[in-house]
Each structure stands twice: as C-alpha cells, then as structure tokens.
Chains A and B, each alone.
Chain A
Amino acid sequence: MAQMTMIQAITDAMRTELKNDENVLVYGEDVGQNGGVFRATEGLQDEFGEERVFDTPLAESGIGGLTLGLAVTGFRPVMEIQFFGFVFETMDEVVGQIARLRYRTGGKYGAPVTIRTPYGGGVKTPELHADSLEGIIAQSPGISVVIPSTPYDAKGLLISAIRSNDPVFYLEHMKLYRSFREEVPEEEYTVEIGKADVKREGKDVTLIAYGAMVHTCLKAADQLAEEGYEAEVVDLRTVSPVDMDTIIESVKKTNRAVMVQEAQRQAGVGSNVIADINERAILHLEAPVLRVAAPDTVFPFAAAEDVWLPNENDVIEKAKAVLNF
C-alpha cells in the first residue's frame, strides 16, 4: 500500500491500463511531454512512448473526433479535455457521436472511450474551467458519468472506465487533486461504475453527495454528531446511472434525506435523485427531501466562489430542517 493523492491515483490507474492493454492510448492538449497542466499524465510519455501518450493540436472537437475514429479502429482511447468548461467545444463529438455510436450501429460498434476532465470550484480558475456541467452529460443516453471523491475510488473507477466497452465521462474535482492522501493499493483493482458508496454510516438522516461535496457532507456530519444526530453520507461516485438501490436502502433506514450538489439547482443530478426517491420510497419519508445546491446563476467569478459554493453550514441547516420537520 502507498499513500497517494487523488492525482497520483489517477496517474497510477492510467499507468496500470497502459501496461495491461496495448490498445490504450492517452492524449490531449499538453498531455505528452508536459504531463498535463495538472501533471496527471506525468512521466507516462517517457514510459510508454509517443505513439501511446501524446499531445493533440489545440481543438477539442478535433480531439473528440480523433477519439471516435481511434475507437472504431480498435483502440481504447483515454482522451483529456483540459478543463470541463471546454466541453462545449466538443459537445457534438461527445454526446452526439461517441455516446451514440453503439445505438447508431445497432449495437455493432461500441465506443470503449474514457473522457477525463478536471472541474470543480474552490481553486479560483478563470471562467469556464470549474463549472459543474455533469448534469448536461448525465442527461445524454449512452455515456456514464463518474465522479470520484477519494484517491482509492479514483484509481478503481478509472481502471473500470478504461476497461468499459462503452464510453465513460470521468470527472476530476480540482480541489481534491492534492487535498489529502490515503492508502491506495499499488496493485490493480476496480471499483464498479454505477455503484454508490456509504462513506459514513448513520441512522438519523441521509446526506447524498458526489465529488468535493462528499467531504463537505462528512464535515457537516461530524458537527451534527456533536449535536447528537448521526448522519449517513452516501457518495454517488457515478451520477449517471445513479445507484438508487443504495440510496433507497439508506433512506428506508433514516427516513430523511438531503441531496447535496455543487452544481446549480435547476435540472441537475439532484433533481433526478429526489424524483426517484419520491417514486420509490415516499412512504418511508418523515420529511420532504431537501436540497443543497448552488444558485441558478453562471458559475461565479473567482473572487466570489466562497460566497457562492455550498458549504457545510448549508448542509447542517438543511439537515436540521428535515430532522426537525
């Protein structure tokens, strides 16, 4: 076992799969010699050569098209979009082309594609870098959306994504890249896509989150515990498809839930989770399911992040509201 940050775990996952399968290719802007702007691909080009790990011209739609073309010629592409906000430049290739390839060919061609991209607030980036756009991708059939919150999950989920014969959008929260280390096995292992994880057990209220908000919820749960409430924290890990079984099991135990997301409220992952809870477990609820989310504005200018992003006090407030309903 080694102590790894999330970014080290991500690099380790790519190294593992580059070793395991010669069809795996890793590429994107600045991914080669530079090792990526966050150093996620550090050392990989030296280790595996320029034919396996390489730079692309600076054009996201071109990168998306390259990916589909490499996929149909038998490769297993791991493409990087330098920042999630740049996905708009390649939305057609991602959701109009890659995600639809299997359907369009009646099941004949899968797209064994992994799309990695950093996102997430709290690191003061310029505009269109940090936005939580996962809901837009999650609404697109044919592609899974994975968001790890820990180094252990990051490695296991990325290996699963690369091995998947269908496309996976893999989101890396920038604030979590180097925020903490944990034990990560050096050997290979997988974490199943589409399976949530209970990050803290509790009997009084279920806090459902993903990405950096998992840690916000864990902090909130610590404080709630001091006041005598035991919160259960469910980390979705995959936001499309959502593991409703794990959520419903938790809600049936606690009878109360708060959905927490960094993204804006409207039409997001949380809306879908709450609708599903209502459909499947409304008679188990002692209170309405409440939501913690960012306001429905554009992602804020850097200096306003702190007043815009949801924090543990927001979570505690909503948790108490459902506890005392």
Chain B
Amino acid sequence: MTETAQPPYPAAEFGDGTTDPPTIPLPPVPADGAPGGPSDGPSGGPSDGSSHGPSHGPSNGLSGLETRDLTAWFGQRKVLERVSLQMRAGEITALIGPSGCGKSTYLRILNRMHEMVRGAALAGEVLLDGEDVYATGRRPAEVRRRIGMVFQRPNPFPAMSLYDNVISGLKLAGIKASRDERDHLVESSLRQAGLWDEVSNRLGTPGGALSGGQQQRLCIARSLAVSPEILLMDEPCSALDPTSTRRIEETIAELRHRLTIVIVTHNMQQAQRVSQSCAFFLASHDTPGRIVEAGPTERLFTSPADPRTADYVNGRFG
C-alpha cells in the first residue's frame, strides 16, 4: 500500500506542462517516509511553482492548495492517512470515492472546519500559497474567509433577505463596505453564482423562500462575496434535482477562471464534466482513507493506473 503515499504516476503526467522550478523554498519535508524529492509523489510532483507564487506563477494570480501527509482522526479512529495532494491554482479538482472514504473529512480539514468536531485531530500540513493554515497563531476565521465552503445541504440564513444573505460574510468577517459597494457586490456575486436574473427583482425576500437549487446558488454567491481564493464544495448537488444540478455545474465551470475549486462528488459524470484534476479516495473497514490515484481527470477516467480506480470510475463498485 505504499502507493497511497506515493501514487504511481510520474509528475509530468499530473502537471499541465508548466515547468517552472519552485520559486519559494519548500518547507522541510517530513522525515518519516514522505516523498523523497520535489519530482516524486503528489506533494512534490505537481508542485512546479504554480501554487507557490501566485503573483508570478502561470495561474493569473490565483492561489493553490496543497496538503502534505495529512492524517486525520476522530477520537481513536483514524479516518485519513498520509494524504498528499496538490490542488492547482485555477483548476477544479474533484475528489471522488465511495461513501466513508474520508473525502468530506479531507475537504473540511482544508478550511479548518474539521477541528470543530469533537475529538477531531490531525497531522500533516495544509498549505495555502505555501503557508500552513494550521500554523500556530493563525486564526481559523481568517483561513475560512480565504477558503470558502459550500455544503451538501443548502444552508442560507433562512430569515435573512437575499440581499443580506449575500453580504452576510462581510458582516461576519467584520469587513466594512459602503452602500454602493454592497449593492455592487450583491449583484456581481449573484451574477457569478448564476442567480441574479431569477432574483434581482426580489432581493428583499427571505433566503428560506427560494427553491433548493436557488438556495444552493445563493450559498455560492454568499461564499463568493467575501472573495475567497479557494472554494470548497462538499457534494453541492447531491440534494438537488437534475436541472438545478446542471445550473450549478455551469456556475462552477464559469467560476473556474476566478478561483480555485475543490469539489467532492459521488457523481462520476459530474467529476468528468467539471473537473480538470481528480483524486480517488478509498478506505476499507480496517484501513483509513487514502488517495489511490490522483491526476488529470481525463487520464483517471480513460486510463487509470490502478485497477481499483478503473473499477470505481466504471461503476463496478462503490
């Protein structure tokens, strides 16, 4: 099972051809069995500099996310083991795998939601632009503002108006804005989330009055309003009908150029449709979740290196 820590694909296959050398010295690699060098394994392989230097990387100032040897526990139970993955700036990374494989836990670790669960613990690093989000003294609220999240069940503030829902993040994060700025922000966020045309004439109605799909897009708009660098989506369409799902997928595709997206999905077709990179998680009853294989979505679906990946993406289990 060593391939879980060092997935069996070469670095060149994962990257999109950018060959910039790392521009920021990498933090020391953990000594215990981590990938040996920057060109070996998922943490080193794709780290060709694109995520470490947003200002001078190839990705138009967008931020990337990376985890190194991430292990997570709930109490005594280990749910994730040594997950190293690069989520490239400006890309949509899909996390796939059967239920209970730890992908939602992984996602919640990325923006420090994991630690709010009682008994939750973790080891390893989550690097946002090369800086550990779990560094001592770093506030979770600041991390969460930069790494937004959309949940499985739409969770707008039901009694709050649509307008206030969109700008709620500003108030919560203590960001001041003038009336004009807020008006502008509400419109642009709702437009980006693909909801503006449907609600522009009733911004005063409460968030709870929308349909499920609209609520979810409202939640996306709400997340976008605080201009996060990363957007995490935890099965954002699993509670929605196919039409709403399609609208959300269109929204996600349009957002790709504005921020980096990591999406957990159970839907193979969705992963194929929206993502550029893909990571396949797998756990069994006695082993914690690990990444079996990660790489460009197309390759993972057409010529997976691991037979288990092939079985899963072809619907033979899970």
A and B bind: no
Instruction: Name A's B-contacting residues (CB within 8 A).
Output: none
